């Protein structure tokens, strides 16, 4: 899968020269290509911003350099990559969108800065994505989060499907608790069921814990998730168990 990123700070994407993503890049599974928007400025000083029409604070990124990059890429590839603008007004990002994007072969991410980008770039944009209801200094960190979360779903990036299928949000629920050696630490013991070697009981425990943690910490996810009959039974038991504990 290929990611092109339009940014004023391509050096920020050196973060992908480490760990799982770097290994996937070395294998040719991923291609992450930061492109400096300034290189496509028609201004001799590589200026890419100007004062906003109508007045107001700050500067606005110009449309022309963005068009110049996209047109150059389209000429290079023979097609326009699926183009995403990282913007506060976009769809709020989640795991479902990550899965949706992982089916794309080529994604182009545009990172805004200053007071935003000239609205006239919108004919180039196929989708708008927001990382959440908070403000960042630019779109780079949001773009990194998208690249990382989508890349994990690309076949071959992780060692096996289980590495992400049991993770939080994969099935809209939070992940069950994890433990490793030693068996006892500061008086805290690993749950006996995980030491039993009984895979059926372990799976049942993990389903229960996943639903319990989601119900307690993110009940909004429960309301958005279509639970199976088995999961609904487990959830009923969780509610009863929690009521008993409250009564005590």
Is 108 one of the annotated binding-site residues? Answer: no
Q: Are 82 and 104 in contact (CB under 8 A)?
A: yes
Is 125 one of the annotated binding-site residues? Answer: no
Residue 89's Cβ-count burial label (10 Å; 0-12, 13-18, 19+) is exposed
Token output for 67: 């068009």
- Tokens 């969780």 belong to residue: 238
> In the chain, what are the helix, strand and coil shares in percent, each to the nearest 5?
45, 20, 35
Residue 155's Cβ-count burial label (10 Å; 0-12, 13-18, 19+) is exposed
Distance CA 142, CA 81 (A): 19
Is 56 one of the annotated binding-site residues? Answer: no
Token output for 193: 């069921």
Is 73 one of the annotated binding-site residues? Answer: no
Helix, strand, or coil (residue 54) = coil
Is 131 one of the annotated binding-site residues? Answer: yes
Is 184 one of the annotated binding-site residues? Answer: no
Helices 95-102 & 140-151 angle (0-180, nearest 10):
70
Phi, psi of 25 (to 5 degrees): -65, -45
State the DSSP H helix or E strand holding residue 38, giving kind and residue range, or none if neither: none
Is 156 one of the annotated binding-site residues? Answer: no
Query: Which residue ranges are tagged as binding site?
Result: 112, 131-136
Query: Which residue ranges are tagged as binding site for S-adenosyl-L-methionine?
Result: 112, 131-136
């Amino acid at each position: 899968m290929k990611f092109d990123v339009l940014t004023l700070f391509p050096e920020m994407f050196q973060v992908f020269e480490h760990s799982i993503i770097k290994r996937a890049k070395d294998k040719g599974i991923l291609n992450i290509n930061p492109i400096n928007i300034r290189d496509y400025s028609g201004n001799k000083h590589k200026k890419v911003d100007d004062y906003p029409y109508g007045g107001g604070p700050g500067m606005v990124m110009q449309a022309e350099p963005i068009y110049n990059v996209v047109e150059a890429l389209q000429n290079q590839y023979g097609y326009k990559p699926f183009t995403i603008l990282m913007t506060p007004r976009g769809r709020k990002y989640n795991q479902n969108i990550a899965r949706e994007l992982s089916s794309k072969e080529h994604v182009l991410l545009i990172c805004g800065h200053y007071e935003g980008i000239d609205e006239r770039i919108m004919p180039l944009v196929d989708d708008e994505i927001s990382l959440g209801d908070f403000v960042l200094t630019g779109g780079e960190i949001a773009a990194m989060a998208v690249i990382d979360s989508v890349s994990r779903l690309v076949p071959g990036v992780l060692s096996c499907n289980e590495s992400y299928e049991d993770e939080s949000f994969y099935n809209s629920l939070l992940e069950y608790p994890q433990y490793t050696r030693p068996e006892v630490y500061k008086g805290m013991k690993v749950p006996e069921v995980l030491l039993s070697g009984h895979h059926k009981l372990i799976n049942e425990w993990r389903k229960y814990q996943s639903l319990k943690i989601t119900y307690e910490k993110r009940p909004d996810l429960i309301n958005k998730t279509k639970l199976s009959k088995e999961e609904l039974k487990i959830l009923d038991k969780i509610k009863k168990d929690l009521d008993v504990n409250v009564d005590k």
